[in-house]
Every structure is written in structure tokens, then in C-alpha cells.
Chains A and B, each alone.
Chain A
Amino acid sequence: MGATAESPIVQVRDVDKSFGRLRVLDHVTLEIGRGEVVAVIGPSGSGKTTFLRCLNRLETITRGEIRFRGQVMQRKLPGEPTVELSGEALRRLRMDIGIVFQQYNLFPHLSALQNVTLAPVHVRKVSPVEARTGAEALLGKVGLADKAEYLPAQLSGGQQQRVAIARALAMDPHLMLFDEITSALDPEMTAEVLEVLRGLAGEGMTMVVVTHEMGFARSVANRAVLMVGGRIVEEGPPDQLFGAPRSERTRAFLQSVLRA
């Protein structure tokens, strides 16, 4: 998949990102088509999370270009006008990109339902009643219909993460970013969260999933991307990348993961 007639939803061109003298992303180029599920895998410290955070401009890039639905979000290239969206323009763009974090980052002073309705009411200006109906439906979809009035601290990690997914979905995003969302969860809770992701993929949601769950990457993603040392070492259909890796780095990584 991926090569549809439509233009890609995300275009990443030749992106570098450095923190001080530390280069975290190194000439990363990637296109993500509508409805694609891209799994980004790789060892710790390989730049996966930074890459994901660049996609909704939680990080600014040092060089390169990132487009979302054709619109330039960030651009720093010699000979081309520099673009650094901020304020209202950035806000409008972020409304359409959902992100779910490793540590959930729910708003602890708000109930599950309020976490989900906050942005639709205050950003999309949906009426509170309508937002509530939508939020209840979403909480139902992630299996938490009965937890709407609970505060985050009264929920398990897996439940909190599912609320976080519902919160992101409530904005009706065109793209969902998942940043190692099961890393803080035990296997049972991981399963319930991955089940939600599987459902989303089935509905055609475009997703970029940074994950350590190789089984999930293999079974749900249309495409797997292996990052090592800030570079994309190999990308392709999961079956190929996992089954018949072309690069030595990929084989080494897969071996180390399987041994673990």
C-alpha cells in the first residue's frame, strides 16, 4: 500500500535534528500515505521518539522539510525559504494530528470524560452536549464506557492509555502518532491497548507507531521502518523486513530483539 493517487499525508525530506552537538536524526526521508500504518522500530536512543515528535512539531528540526497534507510545517533547507509554523497556523495543524505518549500524560485534575471533551469544546468549539456524546462513544469504543467519571489516578495504566487514545481521537485527526505507548504497561494491559490500535488500523486511520512490540509491528503495520543511530536503515513490508531483512544492521537488531 502507500502509493495511492493522493499525495502522501506526511512527507519528510532529508531531516536532521541535533540537540547541541548530538545528532539525533540524520538525513531522514519518509513518505506516509493516507491509511497507512507505519511501525517505527529500532534500538533505544536511535531517534524514533524524536522523529515522531518532529511530526507534530514538538521538536523543531535542524535541517530538512516536513509537510503535512501538502502544507509545509517546518523547512530549513539552503536555497529554499525557511518555514517555522507557530501560533495559530501551528495550532490549526496540530488539531488534525493526534499523539499518544508513553506516559499517557492525561490531565490528572480532569475525569476521563473531561480529558476527552476538553479539546473538542475549547479548540473545535463543539457544544458541550455534543462533545459529551462523542466522548462517551469514544470511551465506549476503547472499552471504558463505565469509567467516564473516573479520574486518571483511579484507572490502571492500560485504562489511562486507552483514555489518552480516546482523547486524541476526539479531535478527529487525519494522522495518529503513537510513542511507545505500551512501554510502561504489563503484558495484559499491553494487549488491551494494542487491541484498540488494531481496531483503528482496521478503520483506515493513518498511524505512525513507534513500538517495541515486534509482533504487533509485524501483524498490523503495512510498513516497518528500522531506525539505527538516527538513520533509516531499512524500510519495507513487515514480512520482508522481519522475514528477509536486506541489511546486516536489520539482521543484528532483529537478533538482539529476539534474544531478549
Chain B
Amino acid sequence: MPTIRWTDVMAFLPELLRGARYTVTLTFVIMAISIVAGVLVALARMSRYRVLRMPMVAYVEFIRGTPGLMQLYYIFYVFPFFGLTLPAIAAGIIGLSINYTAYLSEVYRAGIASIPMAQTEAAESLGLSYWQSMRLVILPQAARIVLPPTVNYLLSLFKDTSLLSLITIQELMFTGILLGATTYKYFTIFTEVAILYFIICYPWALLATWVERRMKASPDPTSGIGPRRLRWVLGPAAST
């Protein structure tokens, strides 16, 4: 039975924390890109124009039908053959963003589709443009519905950034692998890595549960308890 020595724990900690910080930063950057891009992809996929709709369907289905790791490898190892050599960090951010955008866009598409057509009609009858209707009327209502699944995706992204270790990005997982390769103290190191991941993720898991419970307490998005909660969760929306 191997043992864990406190001095080892403390010795590895600074470097692992550096890796953890990188993991958190990468997660937020990728998530921010994916949320914005996800909304745009969702809108394009719901467009009345085929030229916008069709490529997005192909994109989303392709991404959902292939492993994320393969997508990362493709960008990092295959693109250079076509003259596109990206630094690992760029390849990693692009790869995971492309992946998460596809999944989030499906969530957002469902969320937007759940807002009654009558809301769009009311907005456009007042002279609001398509984008104004979206920004001021539809998306604020859809945001409430997609908030819980979005927090869940954020949570899984924290862990999925470990895939980036395989294209040499020194996030938490790769830092652990490197330390293990030089010291062979895998038990100590990966226990620490596991605990650090858990410490990062658990608050978000709690938040996800909390948000979901809040939302469930208000069954109908048009019932008013809902929107009031949304304002309470997200801050006042589209105020004049």
C-alpha cells in the first residue's frame, strides 16, 4: 500500500495550482466563446434561409457524431499538413469551442423554439427589427429556460479541458502527468489532481442544482413567478 507524504503534497501543490488556474481560465474562455457562438448557430439553424440553415445542420451533426478528442487531434495534427499550424493553446481553445458551440446551440435552439411565436409577432408588430425582437424579447425569455443546462455544460467543460493535456497544453491534468513522469509519485499526484478538480467543480455543481430547483419552482415561463425569478437570478433584463 503506497502512502502519501505531506511534504510531497506541499512540494507538488504550487505547480498543480498553476495548472488548475490554467484549467479554470481555459474553461471560462471556451465557455464564453461557445455561449455567444452557440446562440448565433442556433439562430442560423432556425433561419428561414436554407443557405444559413444547411451548413449549421451539417456542422452540428458532424461534431456530435465524432469524438471531441479526434476533433482536437485533427486541428492540432492534421491542419499543419494543409499549411495551418496553430499553437497548441489556439488549437485547444478553437477545438473545444467548436465542440461546445455545437452542443450548446442545440440547447439554445430548443430554448428559443419554446418561446411562443406570438411573442415575435407582438414585437415585430411594434416595429422592432428581427435582431431587436431577439435581443429584447425572445432571448431574455429563452435565457431563463437554458440557464440550468448551460451551467451543466460549464461543469462538464471543466473536466473536458483535461483532453487538452493530449495536445501538450499544461493545464491541471498535463501538469500532473509531467510531475508523475519525473517523480513516479502517481498516487500522491493524481489524488491531488482529483481533489483539485473536485474543488473547482463542486461549487458549480451546487449552483446547477440550485438554479434547477429555482426554475422548477416556477413551472410556466409566462407565469410571472418565472420571469421575476429570472430577474432575480440574472439581474433586470432589457430595462429601458
Contacts and interface: CB of A to CB of B under 8 A. Distances in A.
A122 B118 CA distance: 19
27 contacts: A58-B125, A91-B124, A91-B127, A94-B124, A94-B127, A95-B127, A105-B118, A105-B119, A107-B119, A107-B123, A108-B221, A108-B227, A109-B141, A109-B230, A110-B237, A114-B238, A118-B128, A118-B137, A118-B240, A123-B128, A131-B240, A151-B224, A152-B224, A153-B223, A153-B224, A167-B126, A171-B127
A117 B123 CA distance: 12
Q: How large is the interface on A (under 10, 10 to 19, 20 to 34, 35 or more residues)?
A: 35 or more
A114 B226 CA distance: 17
Nearest to A152: B224
- Closest CB pairs A-B (n = 9): A153-B224, A95-B127, A119-B126, A105-B122, A109-B227, A123-B127, A117-B240, A108-B222, A105-B118
A83 B119 CA distance: 26
A92 B237 CA distance: 26
A114 B227 contact: no
Majority-rule SS of B interface residues = helix
Contacts of A114: 238-240
A109 B223 contact: no
Contact of A110 (B116, B126, B132, B238): B238
Contacts of A171: 126-127
Interface in A198-228: none
A106 B136 CA distance: 13
A123 B231 CA distance: 24
A94 B126 contact: yes
B194 interface: no
B20 to A, nearest CB: 37
Interface of A: 56, 58, 91-92, 94-95, 97-99, 101, 103, 105-110, 113-114, 117-119, 121-124, 128, 131-132, 151-154, 167-168, 171
Nearest to A124: B127
Nearest to A132: B240
A121 B128 CA distance: 10
Contacts of B237: 109-110
A160 B141 CA distance: 18
Contact of A123 (B126, B140, B223, B224): B126
Contact of B137 (A95, A107, A113, A121): A107
Nearest to A131: B240
B225 interface: yes
A92 B238 contact: no
A123 B132 CA distance: 9
A95 to B, nearest CB: 4
B126 A118 contact: yes
Contact of A109 (B122, B125, B127, B140): B140
A99 B128 contact: no
B127 A153 contact: no
A108 B142 CA distance: 12
B121 A58 contact: yes
B238 A109 contact: yes
Contacts of B222: 108, 152-153
B122 A94 contact: no
Contacts of A128: 240
A78 to B, nearest CB: 27
A108 B240 contact: no
B18 interface: no
Contacts of B129: 91
A121 B172 CA distance: 48
Contacts of A97: 125
Contacts of B125: 56, 58, 94, 97-99
Q: Which of B122, B123, B140 has the most CB of A within 10 A?
A: B122
A231 B121 CA distance: 25
B228 interface: yes
Interface string B204-240: 0000000000000000011111111011000001111
A101 to B, nearest CB: 7
B234 to A, nearest CB: 10
Contact of A101 (B118, B141, B239): B118
A109 B233 CA distance: 13
Nearest to B116: A105
B118 A118 contact: no
Given A107-B122, A119-B126, A151 B240 contact: no
A207 B4 CA distance: 82
